Amino acid sequence: MCHVSAVSSCSGTRPMGCSKWRAAFNFGHLKAQSKLSLFFTMIVLFTYLLYCLNECCDSHPRPVYENGPVSSRDGPEGAQPLDAHSASSASLVRKQLSDSPNGIQPFYNISIANNFGSKTLPQAIIIGVKKGGTRALLEFLRVHPDVRAVGAEPHFFDRFYDKGLEWYRNLMPRTLEGQITMEKTPSYFITKEAPRRVHSMSRHTKLIVVVRDPVTRAISDYTQTLSKSPGLPSFQSLAFCNTTTGLIDTSWSAIRIGIYAKHLENWLRYFPLSRFLFVSGERLVTDPAGEMGRVQDFLGLKRVVTDKHFYFNQTKGFPCLKKPEGSSRPRCLGKSKGRAHPLISNEVLLRLRDFYRPFNLKFYQMTGHDFGWS
């Protein structure tokens, strides 16, 4: 009512002023309309951008640490053959990857690369040893633009061999020409059937074994089990068949895994020594760049991962990867890596060292490398 009377009084008494007012009103309406459409366009664009970013995240392979949740994204994906078009785009992407500063792959490059390439069976596998430092090695290697690796442990050659090679291949990330596909499953080293199975996949497979003082390794192994089962008997009671005789219980896996010479014998039936690289778990902590140099040489890779990629994190007490450019995430390993070990008596330690000594010497002889475990 009020609105109608105002207009009618206006049109009757002050036509000039009214038309001016109308023009002004119309102009304002137009402005508001264009602002509104701009606003909607922005919303549409923003939603699209969010959608695209989400898509990128979905295809981005995330490192999987044993202490963290394993994402469903680590599951098998359908393999796609590399066609001519993707091959040319792939070389472009490959160039982008190798041009990346410090060899650290930026997020956007990874997501692009992930849509190209093909899934191949691994040319190199970190086969052991459990608690040797295998996760650290794999994460350090993943910094290299020519290495693509599965985050989770596939356990193909020990647990899932029945699923077949095609299943295994499908677990692998896509690689471009010249890139190496890798995985790590530390239990392969002690699996009797693993050497034959790996050999039947390819006799050219490069095998990396991260070894650590078997006594410290056994304690590390025990610490991990203890963290899952707090009621576990003491290390000492598990390590010895009988504490008075001091007989070591080799049926306990924490002890058995450390008899490296015995497990290596099994592998040497199928692979020559030249197919192996033995990485010192101790040096991987004290000199990560030095060990990484050896690993890259062994894999036939350019030495991209160097000392400038590492810093020593005082709180963690371990070397960590420097922040990759454009990311605020530090690259230390998770809480399950570098745990504090329970105190073990000197007497127990001495007995264990005595037990391992002959096996260690045999291992040094077989590998031609003295790891310096006393």
Amino acid (1-letter code) at residue 337: K
Residues found in the chain:
374
Amino acid (1-letter code) at residue 17: G
Q: Select the span of 104-112, 333-341, 342-350, 365-373 touching ligand PPS (CB under 6 A).
A: 333-341
Judged by CB under 6 A, the residue of 122, 214, 319, 324 near ligand PPS is 319
Cis-peptide, bond into residue 305, ω within 30° of zero: no
Q: How far is the CB of 109 from ligand PPS (least distance, A)?
A: 25
| Contacting ligand PPS within 191-250 (CB under 6 A) | 220, 223
Judged by CB under 6 A, the residue of 222, 267, 318, 371 near ligand PPS is 318
User: Is 154 a binder of ligand PPS (CB under 6 A)?
Assistant: no
134 marked as binding residue: yes
Catalytic residue among 130, 131, 184, 206: 131
131 in active site: yes
User: Is 258 a binder of ligand PPS (CB under 6 A)?
Assistant: no
| Contacting ligand PPS within 116-145 (CB under 6 A) | 130-136
Question: By rule CB under 6 A, what string of x and - marks binding of each residue 278-307 to ligand PPS?
Answer: ------xx----------------------
Q: How far is the CB of 210 from ligand PPS (least distance, A)?
A: 6
Q: How far is the CB of 134 from ligand PPS (least distance, A)?
A: 3
Residue 35 CA: distances (Å) to CA of 27, 28, 213: 12, 10, 70
Burial per residue of 32-60, b for 16 or more beta-carbon CB atoms within 10 angstroms, e otherwise:
eeeeeeeeeeeeeeeeeeeeeeeebeeee
CA dihedral 270, 276, 280, 286 (to 10 degrees): -160
Strands 180-184 vs 124-128: parallel, antiparallel or unpaired? parallel
Query: Nearest 5°: CA angle at 278, between 137 and 250?
Result: 100
Choice between 94 and 331, CB closer to ligand PPS? 331
Q: Closest by alpha carbon to 257, among 112, 132, 374?
A: 132
Q: How far is the CB of 190 from ligand PPS (least distance, A)?
A: 11
Beta-carbon neighbour count of residue 186 at 10 Å? 21
Question: Which residues pair with residue 190 across a beta bridge?
Answer: none
Q: How far is the CB of 196 from ligand PPS (least distance, A)?
A: 23
Choice between 132 and 145, CB closer to ligand PPS? 132
Q: Closest by alpha carbon to 257, among 249, 269, 245, 268?
A: 249
Q: How far is the CB of 67 from ligand PPS (least distance, A)?
A: 9
Question: Which residues pair with residue 320 across a beta bridge?
Answer: 311
Q: Are 185 and 213 in contact (CB under 8 A)?
A: no
Strands 247-248 vs 240-242: parallel, antiparallel or unpaired? antiparallel
Choice between 33 and 227, CB closer to ligand PPS? 227
State the DSSP H helix or E strand holding residue 241, giving kind and residue range, or none if neither: strand 240-242
Choice between 147 and 333, CB closer to ligand PPS? 333
Q: Closest by alpha carbon to 209, among 271, 147, 125?
A: 125
Longest dimension (CA), the chain: 119
CA–centroid distance for 181 within its chain:
12
User: Is 337 a binder of ligand PPS (CB under 6 A)?
Assistant: yes
Q: Select the span of 39-47, 92-100, 256-264, 330-338 touching ligand PPS (CB under 6 A).
A: 330-338
Choice between 230 and 368, CB closer to ligand PPS? 230
Within 8 A by CB and 6+ apart from 230, the residues are none
225 marked as binding residue: no
Choice between 111 and 223, CB closer to ligand PPS? 223
302 marked as binding residue: no
341 marked as binding residue: yes
135 marked as binding residue: yes
Q: Which residues are catalytic?
A: 131
Please give the residue ranges that form the binding site for ligand PPS (CB under 6 A). 66, 130-136, 186, 220, 223, 284-285, 318-319, 333, 337-339
Q: Which residues are annotated as a binding site for 3'-phosphoadenylyl sulfate?
A: 131-135, 212, 220, 337-341
